[in-house]
Amino acid sequence: MLAVLNRSLLLIGLSLYTAFAASPFIWAAMMSLRTTTEIHRNHFALPNPPHWDKFADAWFNANYGVYFLNSTQIVLTAVAILTIAGSMAAHCLARYRFRLNRTIYFILFSTIIFPPQITIISLYQILVQYGLYNSKLGLTLVYVAIQLPLTIYILESFFARIPADLFDAARMDGYSDWEIFWRVSLPIAVPAVATTVILNFILLWNEFLYAVVLITQEDNRTLPLGIQRFIGDTQEDVGMIATGLMIAIVPVIVVYAFFSERLIQGMTAGAVK
C-alpha cells in the first residue's frame, strides 16, 4: 500500500517536472499561431483561431525563408565534409600505428576544451584577408573545423573496436588501403557515422557565436542570426518572433522524433565513465 502511494507521488512529481521542462516550448508554439495584438491582450490564451498563415508570412516577408535556406545549405555542406574528412582521419588514427598517432589524436581531442575566443578573433582576420568574410563558404569551413575534434573522437573509438581480423582478411584478399576504408570500415561504422551526422547537424543548426562574428550581410544570415535580429527592437513583434522560433525548432524536433535514441547516445558519448 505504501509502495503504491510512494509510486503515485513520484509520478506526480515527475510529471510536474516534465511540465516545467516542456511548458516554455508549448507556450511558444501557442503564441506562434496568434497575432501580436491577440497575445498582448492575453499572453496565455489558446490560439483562437490558429493563424497558420503567419508561417508563410514569416517565411516570405520577414525573410525567415532566406535564413532557413542559408542554414540548410551551410549546415548540410559542413556535415558532409565533416563526415568524409572526419571518418578518413578517424580510420587512419584507429587502424594504423605510427609514432605521431597518439600525439595527433591528443591534440585534436584536447581542442574540445578550448574556449572559442582563442580562435575567433584571428579567424575574423583570416577570413577578411582571404575574402571569405561574410560568405557562406567561409562559415561552412569554420563549422567543419569546430566540429572535427568531436567527430573524430566518436568515430575513432568506434573504428578501433572493429576486430583486426577483418582488415587482415581484406588485405589478404588483395584490397588496397582505400578500398579497405571504403568497403570494410565505413559500412561497419554506419551506426557511428549516423550518430555523428545527426549530432553535427543539431549542433551546427543551433550555432550562434561564429555566425554572429563572421556573417553580417542580411542575405547570408543563418537562422539563429535571423531570429536574433528581431530581439532588442523596442517594439517587439512577439507573435512573429514566436513563429520564427517554431521554424527554427521544427527541424530539430523532426530529427529528434525519428532518431531520439541515436541522438541521445551521440550527445552523451564519452560522458559515461
Partner 1 sequence: MPAGKNLDRSDGIRQPVGTIIAFLLPALTIYVAFTAYPAIRTFWNSFHIVLPRREEFIGLANYIELAKDDIFWKAVRNTITWACMSPLVEVSVGLILALALYAKVPGSRFFRVAWFTPVLMSYIVIGILWLWIYNYDWGPINAGLRALGLGFMTRAWLGEPATALFSLIFVTSWMWVGFNMVVLLAALHSLPKEVIEAAELDNCGWGAKLVFVIFPLVRATVLNLIVLSFIGKMKIFDLVWITTKGNPLWATETVSTYVYKRAFEWTTFDLGYPSTIAAVWFVIVLVAVLGLTWAFRSRERLEY
**According to CB under 8 A, which residues from 3 to 42 bind partner 1?**
7, 10-11, 13-14, 17-18, 20-22, 24-25, 27-28, 40
Q: How many of the other CB atoms lie within 10 Å of CB of 226?
A: 24
| Measured CA distances, 16 to 3, 6, 20, 253 (Å) | 20, 15, 6, 22
CA 194, CA 181: separation in Å to the nearest integer?
17
Q: Does 249 bind partner 1 (CB under 8 A)?
A: yes
Q: Does 106 bind partner 1 (CB under 8 A)?
A: no
Q: Least CB distance from residue 210 to partner 1, whole Å?
A: 10
Q: Does 214 bind partner 1 (CB under 8 A)?
A: no
CA 196, CA 84: separation in Å to the nearest integer?
11
Please return the burial class of 129, using the count of CB atoms within 10 Å of its CB with bins 0-12, 13-18 and 19+: exposed
Q: Interface residues for partner 1 in 219-248 (CB under 8 A)?
A: 224, 227-228, 231, 238, 241, 245, 248
CA 27, CA 229: separation in Å to the nearest integer?
21
Q: Does 48 bind partner 1 (CB under 8 A)?
A: no
Q: Does 212 bind partner 1 (CB under 8 A)?
A: yes
Identify which range of 46-54, 55-63, 159-167, 256-264 contacts partner 1 by CB under 8 A: 256-264
Q: Does 181 bind partner 1 (CB under 8 A)?
A: yes
Q: Interface residues for partner 1 in 127-146 (CB under 8 A)?
A: 141-142, 144-146
CA 31, CA 47: separation in Å to the nearest integer?
7
Q: Does 102 bind partner 1 (CB under 8 A)?
A: no
